[in-house]
């Protein structure tokens, strides 16, 4: 029984961690390239969740299609908001303005969604939510299998994109030194836009994946964003590998804290871990070696 | 003669003007009601449904008024939390200057507001907070028509033990005054009766994924009942996770989820088949045959094209009880407070109201049990 529970909680932790990673990756990408925290990221997650919900319930699309749709909605919104709000503010040369603008965008989006979708929680059920696979005392819903599969594929694709494509290498170059990358013929503004689009698309997709798991209201994204920030810090700001590792660790820590301590202590344990990391390894689990690349 | 006619004419005109003026003044008299409802955050479904109940009551009352008074409501978003609730209460009192306040829904928010209404000497009529602290010790300006956590908890534990033959329970609750208090009352009563509480699992409102908690519950052995105290959103996820883990009836297990007044109507449809067999207390039974209930349900459906929930009903009752006090002579904060305290056997749509010396409604006919059926509709158990 004990082994079964340990294994079950490991599965639960990996599922939760995968969701956290999807949310945190967008944050870390934006920070890596722009050295900017995007406080509106949570609301891109929420909007992605609603996009998937309405595509399924109004158009009758399948869940997998709705995940793709949320990805596209996130990408489109990221492009729109970056082009109309963040880019003009960035041109003014004050780093603080876009940062404050992300707070404004967040509040605006929350209230727009509150006006459009209302405050009553939506039940986001998919055909996979209640289908459960049971073996040797372990249970996994098909929903969770999809979460792990889609997250793994997305993370692998993102990793490959960053590591092996020209654009990915250019993004890493901009994140390491924007000015030098510019001297090498890379257009930082285009790459900043690309970063925003990818990060927002990931947030939208994370929303569609999270929606059946979390409580879908206009404030849904805010409930995971604090953990996502913690994961980004634990993993090392701007570091994709570190974020993946930290997300999975936090998911597992939550599961085992629930099992062996108390779910009421989850935040204490997770943020205790965060403080510990800041004290002993402030650059995160896997730190960027920016200086070497200058 | 001409002078006498002129004097008579002036006299009649003056009296007429005075009468018209008085009548107009009487029609202008307004009872100002401040409403502290959560309209944002996880408890915002309370506010949305409360406003519908208030809206219907105002529409009915303001057609002709009560004792020459009309009723006006000013809403403030108190967000189900102590800080926003205190700020909202102060704003209401300073700017709107209400004769009476209704709300909040969440106990922590109500408890935070109570010292403010006490200091301002404005009566607070509460219909949705269950923490015992609201009325014990409470204060002389706060009244509650909802059965408190002790009334509900003792009744629920008693019914779980005697009617459901439950002997083992696992408690799931949010870490708030109401969540902890509700769970504690159940535990005390259930163990006194001879039952055993296998685990008490509390969690914050930011917990999203309940699979890990359901896994822990599944590992606890035979469970008969799982009293659960959360807001709707987390409640949905817990119910689904417990079914997925095969613990509750909805997932093929034996355990029955039970609860006090937390969840709105429609919960079962959202939770799906996971909610099968869920037994919970609600504040309003639309199957009651009393005229007040039938009339309210008909009027509500006509106005909103939907069946009323218990949140709609208790908000409606709050306004109607205030109107009853006004009918009995209430006209300002002090007289409304005194009128509320003197209420005897008032019959509302949720049940009847009569306050004890702590301003707690003593009537148990506001406690209605419902059970979720296989088709996700529910049946009224008529246990009280």
8 A C-beta contact, residue B193 and residue B225: no
pLDDT (tens digit, 9 = 90+) per residue, B168-223? Answer: 999 999 998 889 999 999 999 999 999 999 999 999 888 878 999 999 999 999 99
Buried b (16+ CB within 10 A) or exposed e, A32-62: bbbebbbbbbbbbbbbbbbbbbbbbeeeebe
Place of tokens 């489109």: A76
Chain B residues whose CB is inside 8 A of the A223 CB are 206, 208
- List, in sequence order, every beta strand (DSSP E) within chain A: 132-135, 138-141
Token representation of residue B167: 């002997």
pLDDT attached to residue A212: 87
- Asked whether the predicted pLDDT for residue B41 surpasses 80, the reply is no
Q: How far is B235 from chain A (nearest CA, A)?
A: 9
- Asked whether the predicted pLDDT for residue A56 surpasses 90, the reply is yes
Q: Which of A1, A139, A266 sits opposite B245 (nearest CB)?
A: A139
Per-residue pLDDT band at A288 (split at 50, 70, 90): low
Q: How far is B343 from chain A (nearest CA, A)?
A: 34
HSE, side-chain direction, 13 A CA sphere, residue A173: 18
For the purposes of burial, counting CB atoms within 10 Å of the CB of B381, is it exposed (0-12), middle (13-18) or buried (19 or more)?
A: middle
Per-residue pLDDT band at A291 (split at 50, 70, 90): very low
pLDDT attached to residue B21: 46
- Chain B residue with CA closest to A121: the answer is B233
Chain B residues whose CB is inside 8 A of the A224 CB are 208
Q: Which of B48, B204, B272 sits opposite A120 (nearest CB)?
A: B48
Token representation of residue A183: 């001297």
- Asked whether the predicted pLDDT for residue B235 surpasses 80, the reply is yes
pLDDT (tens digit, 9 = 90+) per residue, B327-338? Answer: 999 999 999 999
Which helix or strand (DSSP H or E) is residue B75 part of? strand B70-77
pLDDT (tens digit, 9 = 90+) per residue, B244-269? Answer: 999 999 999 999 999 988 888 888 88
pLDDT attached to residue B26: 46
pLDDT attached to residue A122: 85
- Asked whether the predicted pLDDT for residue B95 surpasses 70, the reply is yes
- Asked whether the predicted pLDDT for residue A26 surpasses 80, the reply is yes
Pairing type for strands B100-103 and B70-77 reads: unpaired
User: Measured between CB atoms, does B252 come within 8 Å of chain A?
Assistant: no
Cα dihedral across residues A104, A105, A110, A115: positive or negative: positive
- Asked whether the predicted pLDDT for residue B22 surpasses 50, the reply is no
Q: How far is B244 from chain A (nearest CA, A)?
A: 7
pLDDT (tens digit, 9 = 90+) per residue, B159-169? Answer: 999 999 999 99
pTM (two decimals): 0.79
Mean pLDDT of chain B: 90
Interfacial residues of A (vs B; Cβ cutoff 8 Å): 1, 5, 8-9, 12-13, 15-16, 19, 114, 118-121, 123, 125, 129-130, 132, 134, 139, 141, 144, 210, 213-215, 217, 219, 223-224, 226, 254-255, 258-259, 262-264, 266-267
């Amino acid at each position: 029984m004990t082994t079964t529970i340990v294994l079950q909680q490991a599965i639960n932790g990996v599922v939760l961690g995968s969701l956290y990673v999807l949310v945190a990756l967008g944050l870390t990408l934006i920070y890596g390239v722009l050295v900017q925290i995007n406080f509106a990221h949570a609301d891109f997650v929420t909007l992605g969740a609603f996009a998937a919900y309405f595509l399924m319930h109004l158009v009758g699309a399948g869940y997998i299609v709705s995940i793709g749709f949320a990805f596209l909605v996130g990408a489109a919104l990221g492009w729109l908001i970056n082009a109309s709000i963040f880019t003009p503010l960035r041109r003014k040369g004050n780093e603080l303005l876009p940062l404050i603008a992300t707070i404004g965008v967040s509040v605006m989006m929350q209230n727009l969604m509150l006006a459009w979708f209302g405050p009553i929680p939506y039940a986001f059920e998919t055909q996979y939510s209640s289908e459960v696979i049971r073996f040797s005392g372990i249970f996994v819903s098909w929903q969770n299998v999809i979460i792990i599969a889609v997250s793994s594929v997305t993370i692998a694709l993102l990793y490959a994109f960053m590591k092996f494509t020209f654009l990915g290498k250019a993004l890493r170059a901009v994140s390491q030194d924007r000015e030098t990358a510019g001297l090498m013929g890379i257009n930082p503004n285009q790459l900043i836009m690309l970063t925003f689009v990818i990060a927002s698309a990931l947030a939208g997709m994370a929303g569609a994946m999270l929606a059946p798991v979390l409580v879908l209201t206009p404030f849904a994204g805010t409930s995971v964003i604090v953990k996502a920030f913690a994961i980004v810090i634990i993993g090392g700001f701007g570091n994709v590998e570190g974020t993946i590792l930290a997300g999975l660790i936090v998911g597992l820590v939550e599961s085992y804290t629930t099992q062996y301590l108390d779910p009421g202590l989850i935040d204490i344990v997770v943020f205790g871990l965060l403080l510990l990391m800041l004290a002993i390894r402030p650059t995160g689990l896997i730190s960027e070696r920016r200086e070497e690349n200058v | 003669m001409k002078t006498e006619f002129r004097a008579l004419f002036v006299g009649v005109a003056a009296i007429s003007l005075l009468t018209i003026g008085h009548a107009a003044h009487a029609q202008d008299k307004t009872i100002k009601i401040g409403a502290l409802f959560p309209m944002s955050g996880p408890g915002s479904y309370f506010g949305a449904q409360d406003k519908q109940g208030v809206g219907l009551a105002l529409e009915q009352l303001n057609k002709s008024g009560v004792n020459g008074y009309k009723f006006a409501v000013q809403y403030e978003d108190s967000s189900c939390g102590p800080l926003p609730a205190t700020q909202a209460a102060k704003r209401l009192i300073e700017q709107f200057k209400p004769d009476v306040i209704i709300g909040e829904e969440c106990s922590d928010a109500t408890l935070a507001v109570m010292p403010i209404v006490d200091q301002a000497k404005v009566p607070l009529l509460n219909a949705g907070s269950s923490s015992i602290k609201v009325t014990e010790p409470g204060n002389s300006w706060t009244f509650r028509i909802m059965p408190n956590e002790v009334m509900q908890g003792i009744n629920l534990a008693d019914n779980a033990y005697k009617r459901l033959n439950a002997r083992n329970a696992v408690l799931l609750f949010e870490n708030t005054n109401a969540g902890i208090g509700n769970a504690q009352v159940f535990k005390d009563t259930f163990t006194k009766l001879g039952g055993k509480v296998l685990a008490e699992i509390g969690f914050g409102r930011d917990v999203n994924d309940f699979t890990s908690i359901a896994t822990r519950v599944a590992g606890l052995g035979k469970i008969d009942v799982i009293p659960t105290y959360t807001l709707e959103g987390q409640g949905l996820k817990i119910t689904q996770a417990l079914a997925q883990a095969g613990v509750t009836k909805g997932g093929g297990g034996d355990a029955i989820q039970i609860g006090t007044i937390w969840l709105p109507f429609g919960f079962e449809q959202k939770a799906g088949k996971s909610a099968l067999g869920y037994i919970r207390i609600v504040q309003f039974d639309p199957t009651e045959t009393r005229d007040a209930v039938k009339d309210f349900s008909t009027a509500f459906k006509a106005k909103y094209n939907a069946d009323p929930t218990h949140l709609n009903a208790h908000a409606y009752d709050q306004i109607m009880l205030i109107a009853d006090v006004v009918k009995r002579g209430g006209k300002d904060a002090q007289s409304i407070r005194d009128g509320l305290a003197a209420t005897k056997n008032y019959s509302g749509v949720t049940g009847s109201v009569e306050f004890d010396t702590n301003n707690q409604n003593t009537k148990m006919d506001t406690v209605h049990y419902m059970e979720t059926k296989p088709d996700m509709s529910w049946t009224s158990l008529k246990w009280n």
